[in-house]
Structure 1
Amino acid sequence: MHTLTYGDIKAATDRIAGRIRPVALAPVDPSAIRTAHRDPLDDRPEQPCEVWLALEFMQHTGSFKARGAQNFIQAHRDADTLPDAGVTIASGGNAGLACAWAAQQQGVRATVFLPTTAPAVKVAKLRGYGAEVRLVGAEYAEALAACEEFATATGALASHAYDHPLIAAGAGTLLEEIHQQIPDLDTVVVAVGGGGLFAGVATAAQHHGIRTIAVEPENCRALNAALEAGHPVDVPVDSIAADSLGARRTSTMALTAARQDRVHSALVADSEIVRARQALWDHRKVAVEHGAATALAALTAPDRHRTDRELLTSSAAPTRSYRPGGGEKVCVVLCGANTDPADLRQQEELR
C-alpha cells in the first residue's frame, strides 16, 4: 500500500499548476467562534481566535475533487498510460464530476458509475461534461463493483473517489495554497468521507507543523471507527451529509495519516451540520452542501462531554466540537457546493 508523502503533494502541486483555481480565503467575524475555556487564574488579556474559511466550493466542478482528478489524469498522460477506453470512476457525485471535467479538459473519454441515490443536479452536470453515466445500486459500494467490472472488461483506467495516492496528493495541494496565504496557520479543519481530502491535507499539514481536525457526522464515521478498531472497518451510512461523506469504509492511506501527531477526530450531529449550513447562507449567502458544512459544525456545535485537553491527548476518542485557543489561527475547509439551495431559501422565508 502506498504511503502518501509530502513529496507526492509537492509533485502534484507542480503538475496541476495553472489547471485549477487557486483557493480564496475569507475571514470569519471574530465574535462568531467561541474559544476554549480559560484558566480562571490566567490574568493575561483574552485573545480572540482567528478563523478563515477556505472557499474551495468555488473550484472547478464545485468541489475540491477537481484537484485530484486533474493530478490523476495528468500523471497518466505524462507517463503515456492513458488507454483508448478512457477513464472510469464510481462516485457519489463530486468525484465523478471532477473526473468527467478533467477528462474533458484532456480530451479523454469518461464513464461514471453512481448509486441511484445520487442527486439529480450532479447527474445532469456529469452529462453536461460529456461523460457516460451509469446508475447502479443504492450505495456507493455497488456502483464501485460495477465500475471495477467495466474496467476489467474494457481496459478503461480506473480512478477512485478517494482511495488512490494521486487523488489524495491532488487534494493535498489545497493545504499548500492555504499555507502560502497563512504561513503561521495553527489548525486546519476538514470534513472526512472516504478520506482522500483528509489524507492529502493532513499529510501536508504535518509537514508544516499544522494541527488537523478530522470532522465526520456521528452516523457516518468511517475514519473514527477505523481509529477505534485499529484498521479500516465497515460502518453504517446514515447522515444528511451521506451524499458526499457517505463512504462505508475509509482507506488505509487515510488511517495512516490519522495516526500522525497533531491529528484529531471530531464527530458532529446532523442537526449541527444543518445549522452550520444554514448559518453560512443566512450570514454570507453561501450555499454549500452538507458535507462542507460538516467541517464548520465542529466549531459552532455546543460543547458536549469532552474537554479540549481530552481532545489533544487522544486522537481516537472523538470530541463533539473543537474550541480554538486564544490567538489560534484556524482555517475551515468548505469543500463543495453541489447542492440544491431551495431548502435554505425556504427556511429563510419561514423566519
Structure 2
Amino acid sequence: MSTILPTPTDVGRAAERIAGYSRRTPVLRAHVDGLPVVLKLENLQLTGAFKLRGALNALNAGERTDHVVTASGGNHGLAVATAGALLRLPATVYVPESVPPAKARRIEATGATLIRHGATYAEAAAEAMAAASAAGARYVPAYDDPLVIAGQGTCGAEAVADAPDVDTLVVAVGGGGLAAGTVLGAGERDVVAVEPENCRALHDALAAGRPVDSVVDSVASSALGATRIGAMPFEILRSSGVRSVLVTDAEILAARDRLWEEFRLAVEPAGAVPFAAWLAGRVPGDLPCLVICGANADWVPA
C-alpha cells in the first residue's frame, strides 16, 4: 500500500475514472422539525451504497489485474464484486460469517465468489489478504488505500457541487474511507464523523492519538464494524481536525424509521447514522448535508 496520502486533485481524477459506471446520486433539500437540511442520497447508488466509488477508482487506475480479492462486512465486497463485473474482472469476496443475507445474496448475484470466514471483518480480511498473496491476485482494501479514499471523496464533491450553500458534511464512520474522502472532496467545509457508541474506531483512535482496536457491537456493525480505523484515513482525519460524534443504537433505529416516515427512504442502520446525530442536535452548521450512505438490508418498513 502506498504511504502517500491522497489529495483533492486525486478526488477529481477519481471522478473522471468512475464516470459512466457509478451514478451521480441526487441531493434532497428538506425541512425537518422546522430546520433546513440536505440529504445526499447515496443509498440510490448502483450497489445501494457509496462503496462502489472507491472500488471503481481502485480497479480503473494502474495496471490491469487478472483477479481481485477483498474482504468486507458486505457493502465494500458488493462494490468490488460489482466493479469487477462492470470491468470484466473475476472477484473473490471474503466476509464474516455474520454477513447479512441481503448483502451476501447481492454479492453472489454479481458472479463473484463469496467466502465466509471468521466472526469479524478483521478475521475475514486477514484470510483474504493471505489468499490474495498466495494466488498472486490484487487485494483491494476496504478503506486503507489512497485510490479507495479518493474514490469515496467523489460523493462529497458531488454533494457540494449540487448544493454549494451547505456548510457542513456529515458522514458515518467505520474504517474511515468515506470520512477521509469527504474531507478531500468537501472544499474546505467542516466534516463531522458520526459513529455508534459501541462501534467507535475513530473516536477511540482520536483519544489514543493513534489507531487502536475498538469494540464492535452495534445494529450498524455490518457496515461500520471496523475493529480499527485505517492508518491512512486516520492521518487525514486527525490532521483536518475532524471530530467524532457518538449516537446510540436506539437513536440510529429511530432515525432509520423516521427516514422512512418522512421521506420514504428505506435505508440500513448505517445509512441513518448521520441523521441520528442531526436529530439529536449534535451536528453544527446552518445547512448541513447528511450523507445517507447505504440501503443494503433486509429491513422492511412496518
TM superposition score category, shorter chain reference: over 0.9
Residue number in structure 2 paired with 1:74: 60
Q: 1:234 aligns with which of 213, 225, 241?
A: 213
Are residue 114 (structure 1) and residue 95 (structure 2) matched?
yes
Contact 1:115 1:140 in 2 (8 A): yes
Give the alignment's TM-score, normalised by structure 1.
0.83
Are residue 322 (structure 1) and residue 283 (structure 2) matched?
yes
Are residue 189 (structure 1) and residue 170 (structure 2) matched?
yes
Contact 2:152 2:181 in 1 (8 A): yes
Contact 1:4 1:253 in 2 (8 A): no
Residues 253-281 of structure 1 show CA distances to partners (whole Å, capped at 9, x for unaligned) of: 22122224462221111110011001011
Q: 1:335 aligns with which of 281, 293, 296?
A: 293
Residue number in structure 1 paired with 2:265: 286
Contact 2:68 2:139 in 1 (8 A): yes
Residue number in structure 2 paired with 1:269: 248
Contact 1:211 1:262 in 2 (8 A): no
Residues 218-266 of structure 1 show CA distances to partners (whole Å, capped at 9, x for unaligned) of: 1111011111111000001011100100000001222122224462221
Contact 2:193 2:244 in 1 (8 A): yes
Residue number in structure 2 paired with 1:53: 39
CA distance in 2, matches of 1:151, 1:31: 50
CA distance in 1, matches of 2:272, 2:293: 9
CA distance in 2, matches of 1:247, 1:32: 35
Q: Secondary structure at the match of 1:161?
A: coil
Q: Secondary structure at the match of 1:60?
A: coil
Matches within 5 A, 1:21-36: 21-33=23-35
Are residue 244 (structure 1) and residue 205 (structure 2) matched?
no
CA distance in 1, matches of 2:220, 2:295: 12
Contact 1:93 1:244 in 2 (8 A): yes
Residues 190-232 of structure 1 show CA distances to partners (whole Å, capped at 9, x for unaligned) of: 0000001111001222xx2200010000111101111111100
Are residue 162 (structure 1) and residue 146 (structure 2) matched?
no
Residues 124-183 of structure 1 show CA distances to partners (whole Å, capped at 9, x for unaligned) of: 111100000100011111111110111111111000111111111100001111111122
For structure 1, which runs of at least 5 residues remain unmatched after alignment? 34-49, 304-320, 346-351
What is the aligned length?
A: 300
**Structure 1 pair 260–184 and aligned structure 2 pair: CA distance change class (3 A):** farther
Residues 26-60 of structure 1 show CA distances to partners (whole Å, capped at 9, x for unaligned) of: 11225354xxxxxxxxxxxxxxxx31000001001
**Structure 1 pair 152–262 and aligned structure 2 pair: CA distance change class (3 A):** closer
Matches within 5 A, 1:92-131: 92-131=73-112
Contact 1:240 1:270 in 2 (8 A): yes
Are residue 90 (structure 1) and residue 92 (structure 2) matched?
no
For structure 2, which runs of at least 5 residues remain unmatched after alignment? none
Residue number in structure 2 paired with 1:3: 5
**Structure 1 pair 260–51 and aligned structure 2 pair: CA distance change class (3 A):** farther
CA distance in 2, matches of 1:260, 1:296: 25
Contact 2:143 2:233 in 1 (8 A): no
Structure 1 window deviating more from structure 2 (209-218 vs 249-258): it is 249-258
Give the alignment's TM-score, normalised by structure 2.
0.96
Residue number in structure 1 paired with 2:14: 12
The two structures, once aligned, show a CA RMSD in angstroms of 1.3
The sequence identity of aligned pairs, in percent, is 44
Q: Secondary structure at the match of 1:61?
A: coil
